[in-house]
Amino acid sequence: MRILIVGAGIAGLATRRALVRRGFTVKLIERNPSAGLGGAGLFLPGNGVRALCDLGLREGLLRLSHPVNAQRFHDETGRLLVEVDTNDYWRDVAPCRAIRRSDLWQLLNEDMDPDAIEFRQIVDVSTGGNGCRVNFNDGCAEEYDLVIGADGVHSAVRGLVFPQPVDPQYVGNVCWRFIVPNTCDVDEWSVMLGADRSLLAKPISKTELYIYADMSVDQARTGDYSHETPLLPLFAGIAGPLLPALQLSSEAVVHFGELVRLRLDTWYRNRVALVGDAAHASPPSMAQGACLAIEDGFVLAEELATAPSIEIALHRYQARQKVRADWVHKQCAARDTMRRLPPAVRNTLLRFAGGAIYRRSYGLLKKPV
C-alpha cells in the first residue's frame, strides 16, 4: 500500500510511527523546514500518555517529560478552589505528564529515518475509486493508495479534497504560550482564573515552567494583540504566586494565537483521511489536541492493518475516534461556559463540585480507544 502523510507535526509523526510499526511503507511531507523546532509546552493527560505508550515510547516519554501529580484551580486572588489528584484519577490508564513540544516531536521521530521527511508542498489532489493522484509544487505528480491529511487546523488537504470545506470557528479567546525558568517554585499544574482571563503554569522540567495565558477578546479586536503584546499589564491582577514567571515573559519566546474549534461531519472522502486538528481542532480547555492526534494515528494504523479494505478501515477509524473528539468539543464548550459565569458563581461551583466536574469531563477518555 502506498501511503502519503501531509504534515510533520505531532499528528503526522504519530501516524507515521503507528503505520511503520504495522509494517506499512509511508512517505511523509512537510512544507515547513522548521517544523520540529520551537513551540512551547504540552500537558498530556493519561489518555495521551497511554497512546504514546502504545507506540512504544513509554521509556523515552518518562525520561523527557515531567510528572503532573495534581491540577490546582485558584480564583483571581490566588485562593485554592479545588485540587484534583491526577495520579488517583488516571491510575488505571497512565500517569499525566508535561513536556516541551519540541521534545515530543523528537521522541516521535525516535528510531525513524531522520531523512524520511521530504520538505515539499502539495498543490492538488485528485481522487478516484482506486487511489489518489497528488501534484506537488516542484512539478512532480505521484500516485498513492491513501493520502492522510495531518496538516493542522488550516489543512490544505481538507481544502483541496472536501467539497465544502468548513472553516475553523473563533471561540472568543486569544492566548499566549511561553517557557520561562521556574523562579516561583510552582510544583504542580496551577491555574489562576479571572473574570475574563486566566493564567496557567505547569513545570515541564525541574527548572522550567510552561505558561499559558488567555483572554476573552471580541473577534473584531483580535488584531490588537500579538506575540509582542506586553503581558504583565494584562495579567498581573490575577497572577498571584505566578507573578515572578509572568514578569519574565518579556524575555521569553512568546507564541500567540486565536483559539478556534473545527467540527466536521466526516473525516474522510474516497481515499483521503484527516487526523488531528485537520479533522477536529478544539480549544485547549481539555488539553486534548496532541492526545487525540496521537490516538488518531494509532487507531487509523490498527484499522488499516486489520480491515478487509481501505474504505472499511476509514469508516471504522472515524467511528472509533469521532465519538471521542465530539465528546471533547462538548466538554470544552461546557468548561468555557463555566469560566464565563460571574466569578462568585464559578468559584462556588468549583469549590463544591470541581472534583466531580473533572471526573465527569474526562470519563469517556479513560476508556480504551
| Domain-embedded: residue 78 | no
CATH number of the domain enclosing 205: 3.30.9.30
Last residue of a domain, one of 239, 260, 281: 260
pLDDT tens sequence across 345-362: 999 999 999 999 999 999
Q: What are the helix and strand counts (H, E) for the chain? A: 12, 19
In whole angstroms, what is the distance from residue 362 CA to residue 364 CA?
6
Q: What is the number of structural domains in the chain?
A: 2
Nearest to 314 by CA among 322, 325, 303, 302: 303
Q: Are residues 53 and 131 in the same domain?
A: yes
The 10s digit of each residue's pLDDT in 62-75 is: 999 999 999 999 99
Q: What's the pLDDT at 110?
A: 86
Domain-terminating residue out of 217, 237, 260: 260
Residues 6+ apart with CB under 8 A from 129: 270
In a domain, 279, yes or no: yes
Nearest alpha-carbon partner for 135 in 148, 147, 126, 145: 126
* CA 16 to chain centroid: 17
End-to-end CA distance of the chain: 25
106: amino acid identity, one letter = Q
Using one digit for the tens of pLDDT, what is the confidence trace for 267-314? 999 999 999 999 999 999 999 999 999 999 999 999 999 999 999 999
Rounded Cα distance, 207 and 229, in Å: 25
Q: 38 and 155, same structural domain?
A: yes
Average pLDDT of the residues of the chain = 95
- Is residue 26 over pLDDT 90? yes
In a domain? residue 360: no
Which of 229, 260, 291 lies at the terminal end of a domain, its last residue? Answer: 260
Specify whether 57 is located in the same domain as 149. yes
Residues 35 and 47 in one domain: yes
Residue 280 inside a domain? The answer is: yes
Instruction: Check whether residue 159 and residue 295 sit in a common domain.
Output: yes
Q: Which of 284, 318, 292, 293 is nearest to 304 (CA)?
A: 318
> What pLDDT, on the 0 to 100 scale, is given for residue 114?
66
**Domain housing 204:** 169-260
Residue 347 lies in a domain: no
Give the number of other CB atoms < 10 A from CB of residue 110: 15
Instruction: Say whether both 161 and 115 belong to one domain.
Output: yes
Residues 189 and 109 in one domain: no
Any domain includes 87: no
Q: Which of 10, 110, 115 is nearest to 57 (CA)?
A: 110
The answer to whether position 88 is within a domain reads: no
* Co-location of 163 and 295 in the same domain: yes
Query: What CATH number is associated with residue 58?
Result: 3.50.50.60
Residue at 22: amino acid letter: R
Q: Is beta strand 122-128 parallel, antiparallel or unpaired with respect to 117-118? A: unpaired
Of 119-123, 165-169, 233-237, 267-271, least confident by mean pLDDT is: 165-169
Q: Is the pLDDT of residue 147 over 80?
A: yes
Same domain, 112 and 148: yes
334 and 190, same structural domain?
no
Cβ atoms of 40 and 101 closer than 8 Å: yes
**pTM of the complete model beyond 0.85:** yes
Same domain, 226 and 305: no
Bridge partners for 148 per DSSP: 5, 273
Q: pLDDT tier at 112 (50, 70, 90 boundaries)?
A: confident
If asked whether residues 244 and 162 sit together in one domain, one would say no
Q: CA nearest 16: which of 321, 310, 293, 314?
A: 293
In a domain? residue 366: no
